[in-house]
Structure 1
Amino acid sequence: MTLLDAPIYNAARAKRNRNIIIAIIAVVVLVAVTGFLGFLTGHGWFFATVPAEHRVNKFLETVEAKDFTKAYGLWNNDADWQKHPEQYKLYDFDQFQKDWGPSSDYGVIRSHQIAITKAVGNGTVMGVNINGGKTPLFLRVDDKTKQIGFSPIELYVGP
């Protein structure tokens, strides 16, 4: 094949190839910006903590509804915890009710707001303001087991 035997220009194919290249560049830029924003905000990848936040929101909404049996199942990620309560001796249902029921440090829990969230190690730590409080309670969701627990790590919320 010589230069004079070049194939005929196919406008549709050229347009498709151009659109594919533009789409690839846009995806690369979007991933880079999202990762950079996540790095700046301390969230790792930008939306990596959303499932854990959703889990804690669901748990606290259940506590607000005073459905402590279901809330304890969410805490342990075990809806059938009543069939084998001996697995949860370290933090049993009675202690859970003391910590989250009306006699807790917060009284009756009526509202909550997640103030800060950060992926730390193999879990997600978040500070939650209970009943409009100014000092957050720090909870942790394990990435593997999806269990909620009190966090030994406290995040800096600011002045």
Structure 2
Amino acid sequence: MSTTHTLVVNGQSERVTVDHYETPLLYVLRDDLGLKGTRFGCGNGGCGACTVLVDGHAQRSCELPVWSVEGKSITTVEGLGTLDRPHPLQRAFIEFQAGQCGYCLSGIIMTAAELIGSGAEPAREKIVAALDANLCRCGAHTRIVKAIEAAWRASLAGAAR
């Protein structure tokens, strides 16, 4: 039996109809809404490639049934910034060349976005701990952490204005 849900994705209200009650948010984002930045990795919440923000908190979209996020604010990597006004994380990842293959980066960026959104002081230990659950095999970890530190400082400086 199909069910229709209203989601708020990247600030836009979206109505989606799914065939299965437990359809993961990941499938709706990619297949129904065309938001390909959220990646399918392991399918069981273990790799972090599918991470999105739900009401500002990093969540694995492959584990979230679409019904569970109805009425909540969902932000994907596409919703962080634009080409004209990129999010500080997006700018920093480009500046620091913080990735190689890029498959894991949207999940890492969304995990980092939760940290930056917390308003706390940037701390390398917090970044490393938060990223511990995001699998990345490319070896760009040093550049990734430096990019997040720079973006966090830029966000704090922007908030102080």
TM-score bracket for the superposition, by shorter chain length: under 0.3
Structure with larger RCO (C-alpha < 8 A, sep 6+): 2
In the superposition, the TM-score normalised over structure 1's length comes to 0.26
- Report which of the two structures shows the higher radius of gyration computed on alpha carbons: 1
